Amino acid sequence: MRIFPNNHLLNYAQRLRRLRYLAIGFLLCLLIPLGILLYFGFLQIEKNLLEQYQREASSLVQVTERTLAKRRMLTNALPADAFEYYQQVYNPVTRQSQQVLSPLAQLDFAQPKISQQLDGLVGFFQYNSQGDFNSPIWPYVLSDSSLSKEDTDKAGQQALAQPLNPALGPELLVRKETAVNIYQLLSQSKTIQQRLHDGLGEKQYLFTMAFDIPGYFIFYRVVSVAEQSRLQGYLVEREPYLFQLLTEVLEQRRFDSPIMIKLEDVKYSTEPEYFFYQNLPDGQVKVSREQQAEPRFQQQVIYSNRLRWPYDGYSLSLSTNSLPMTPAMVYSSVFIIVLIAAILSACYGFYRLSVKQLALGEQRLNFVSSVSHELKTPLTSIQMYSQMLKEGTVISEEYQKEYYEFIYAESERLTRLINNILQLSKLSHQQQAVQPEHTPLTVLLDIIRSKTSSLIDKHGFQQNMMVEIANAAEMLVFVDKDAFSQVIINITDNAVKFFDQEQINDAGRQKIDFIFRQHAKSKQLIQMEIRDYGQGITPEQESKIFELFYRGGDELTRTTQGTGIGLALVNELVSAQQGEIKVERREPGLAMLLSFHVKY
């Protein structure tokens, strides 16, 4: 079954519409599968990039866990007796033990090396088996009932008596406040208090952790000091401790996109901690603490996982706003753009070519119609007048002469029409032998007068010839005389034919100017202007005036004669003589500007 029956009955508009539908359908058949293929290709590239980021994020979590474990294990090297205010040190010189301040008794400005790696450190602590609390920075046991000024005075006297640090007295208030702060914070820990209540029991020489004080980590162990059990440990602030650790870890990572890291205590449902990672223009990495996460950096979740013991109550997740463009994605995007541009250009080119072919087919039909009309009308007149002369019905010699002249004029018009068609056909098949040669300008002036005078005089026009060149007699123009004659005749015939006397009704405009002047841009060219004073043409007609078979207006309503090949032939003949022709609209009328090469 045929989709488009009766193709020959479709007019030009219908064929053009059908061509557009077919072009759009063909374009969609190309673009839709291509778009689907490219879409899934990009998804795969994004998936691979996401997997790469996930591997990097997983490695970051593992490094974080190892760093946390390493720091926790590093503090296991703290000696058990260092958690007292005083420490017994053996002097090999005197062979006696002497009492000195514990290295953990020093304040922040002189912390021991082991504690310098504990950012956010609040202080160290120790409980004995009876539940009594002491800190290395305070010489006395603290309890709810012992926080008095007398303890401060006694400690000050002992501190001043120590030769190692005689300036410790003014720091007593700071030391006591720090110790009291540690004591009060640990009093809030159910884990520590429960351990003290149950008894210290079995020894635990490695530090474990408690998380039940919001904003703090408690590291504790159970050791034996002088054959007595002690609960020792230290207290750190969670935020600076984790921030310093994550900063060290993140500075060793390389993410192309800004990353939002969320550390959340899922066990106690506390407020999560946010850290923001970004690459600076100078290649450095910046890690900052954020109060809250920006929603745009939570659009693409990269990785989320809970940490291992003893941090198993914490979840670490990484997210970003969007994954960056990788080189593969950039190259793919460029390839896609070029491919789509090529497809669109090719489809548009084929569409324009098809439209031109349709237009050319329409013009050929119009040409056949015009030629049929151009041939039929004079042939009918010639046949009628010749039959009348043959039968002897015209007796008057005046009428007989008039009929003979009419037959001769119509036969000349037919000859000119046929010659134009044959000459155009030869030019199209490159069979026309146009051989330009240097011809004197004066000869060309004579050709113009001889070839156009009869046509101009017959229609009552005036011919104006002007030469605006000083040394015109010495100038040689590079033209073919026969082709030049054909150009002049066709342009003049057009100017006469399209002059509508009824609408213009001005005898002063029935004239044609032939003006020779030096070309404005080159001294090696001469410009010939053929100017008429008719109705002129529209801008649309100006762009199509040299197209083959083009005739302005409707073929069914047009009153002027012609086939639409005259000016197309003119254009071909001028190009064959290595010249150039262009049209300019004037007010009134129209000017044909022809340029030819010259020499002197």
Q: Residues with Cβ < 8 Å from 300, sequence gap 6 or more?
A: 50, 319, 320, 321, 322, 323
Of residues 115 and 480, which shows the higher confidence score?
Answer: 480
- Model pLDDT, residue 562: 56
CATH number where 538 lies: 3.30.565.10
Could you give the CA distance from residue 73 to residue 208 in angstroms, rounded to a whole number?
Answer: 10
Do 249 and 60 form a contact (C-beta atoms < 8 A)?
Answer: yes
235 pLDDT band, cuts 50/70/90, is: very high
What 3-state DSSP class applies to 217? strand
359 domain-assigned: no
Return the minimum-mean-pLDDT range out of 6-15, 157-166, 280-289: 157-166
- Model pLDDT, residue 110: 41
38 domain-assigned: no
Choosing from 204, 239, 274, the residue where a domain stops is 239
Cis peptide before 588 (omega within 30 of 0): yes
Cα torsion angle, 473, 475, 476, 480, sign: negative
Instruction: Evaluate if residue 8 carries a pLDDT over 70.
Output: no
Assigned token pair, 324? 């960056």
Could you give the CA distance from residue 549 to residue 541 in angstroms, rounded to a whole number?
Answer: 13
Could you give the CA distance from residue 125 to residue 186 in angstroms, rounded to a whole number?
Answer: 9
Strand order in the sheet with 285-290: 285-290, 273-279, 259-265, 314-320, 300-306
CA atoms in the 13 A half-sphere facing the CB of 303: 20
**Phi, psi angle pair for 172, to nearest 5°:** -60, -40
E strand spans, 519-566: 525-532
Which residue type sits at 448? I
Choosing from 224, 239, 254, the residue where a domain stops is 239
Could you give the CA distance from residue 398 to residue 381 in angstroms, rounded to a whole number?
Answer: 18
- Model pLDDT, residue 555: 46
Q: What integer best gives the mean pLDDT of the chain? A: 80
Strand order in the sheet with 216-225: 138-142, 133-135, 121-128, 228-237, 216-225, 204-210
Return the minimum-mean-pLDDT range out of 94-103, 135-144, 216-225: 94-103
pTM over 0.75? The answer is: no
Do 565 and 545 form a contact (C-beta atoms < 8 A)?
Answer: no
Instruction: Evaluate if residue 115 carries a pLDDT over 70.
Output: no
**Phi, psi angle pair for 363, to nearest 5°:** -65, -35
- Model pLDDT, residue 169: 56
Could you give the CA distance from residue 479 to residue 483 in angstroms, rounded to a whole number?
Answer: 8
- Model pLDDT, residue 257: 80
- CA-based angle 570:576:581, to the nearest 5? 45
204 domain-assigned: yes
Closest CA to 581 of 483, 470, 472: 483
500 domain-assigned: yes
361 domain-assigned: no
- Model pLDDT, residue 375: 72
147 pLDDT band, cuts 50/70/90, is: low
Could you give the CA distance from residue 46 to residue 323 in angstroms, rounded to a whole number?
Answer: 8
444-498: pLDDT as tens digits: 999 999 888 888 888 889 999 999 888 888 889 999 998 899 899 889 888 888 8
* 506-513 average pLDDT score: 87
What percentage of the chain reaches a pLDDT higher than 90? 12
* 289-301 average pLDDT score: 81
Instruction: Evaluate if residue 112 carries a pLDDT over 80.
Output: no
- CA-based angle 569:357:17, to the nearest 5? 135
Domain that holds residue 561: 433-599
187-214: pLDDT as tens digits: 999 999 988 888 887 888 888 888 888 8
286 domain-assigned: no
What 3-state DSSP class applies to 299? coil
Choosing from 175, 208, 239, the residue where a domain stops is 239
563 pLDDT band, cuts 50/70/90, is: low
172 domain-assigned: yes
User: How many structural domains are present in the chain?
Assistant: 2
36 domain-assigned: no
* 227-240 average pLDDT score: 88
* Residue 223 Cα to chain centre, angstroms: 66
